[in-house]
Structure 1
């Protein structure tokens, strides 16, 4: 818990720690053709904290990389959208599930060094 990073992935800012998995919006056209255990890395790192040291980027940190791998694709919770027509006294309910990718963070690198958990 001493080491974490804040990254920009899938259009959202996400606080990540090494060894944990996260669900983000699908950012590749078709993950099923790629399969699982595909290695990914992102250099859109906004902040890295190692113990009491905090490095903040403007907007991103130079020479900072978060590496991980894709576990599998999944779906989010079903969202129900209800539209009510008051004059007709009817309603319409539509729903969808968002396509997500579950990935695990393997390591956080800053200036070529791996940020270790202490």
Structure 2
């Protein structure tokens, strides 16, 4: 069995993805909550690297004609982050919580079309 994986750029981070596995990524800011329903198909074109066995294709900065296809499983949240501000002289304390919106998606396939130049 060949080990195939890709490195994609999504949400300002680089992520190593393999077909058949699920990942949590930041919610797409351009798309509303109505569009991101379960089983919505998504395609990612910002592919930095594709490795298939011993063949490695690098992009500068992205590969042309390379697509990572997947579908959304469900929206989710990150673990809550708590920030505290304490002013000891004024005897005030403030506690704030924050959760990042995430989307859990599964990678269906990694497609790369090589062009002969």
Q: Same fold (TM over 0.5)?
A: yes
Could you tell me which residue of structure 2 aligns to residue 8 of structure 1? 9
Moved more, 79-88 or 39-48: 79-88
User: Counterpart of 2:21?
Assistant: 20
Unaligned runs of 5+ in 2: none
Partner residue, 1:83? 85
Where does residue 116 of structure 1 map in the other structure? none
Q: Distance in 2 between matches of 1:40 and 1:20?
A: 15
| TM-score after normalising by structure 2 | 0.88
Q: Does 1:29 align with 2:32?
A: yes
Q: Which moved more, 1:6-15 or 1:64-73?
A: 6-15
Answer yes or no: is the 8 Å Cα contact 2:45–2:67 preserved in 1. Answer: yes
Size of the alignment, in residue pairs? 111
Higher strand share: 1
The Cα shift of 1:90 comes to 2.3
After superposition, where does 1:1-118 map in structure 2 within 5 Å? Answer: 2-27=3-28, 28-31=31-34, 34-111=36-113
Residues in 2 aligned to 1:25 and 1:35: alpha-carbon distance in whole angstroms: 15
CA RMSD in angstroms comes to 1.5
Deviations 1:63-100 (A, max 9, x none): 10000000110111000011111221322110011111
Q: Which of structure 1's runs of 4+ aligned residues deviate more than 3 A? A: none
Displacement of 1:34 after TM fit?
A: 4.3
Distance in 2 separating the partners of 1:107 and 1:58: 22
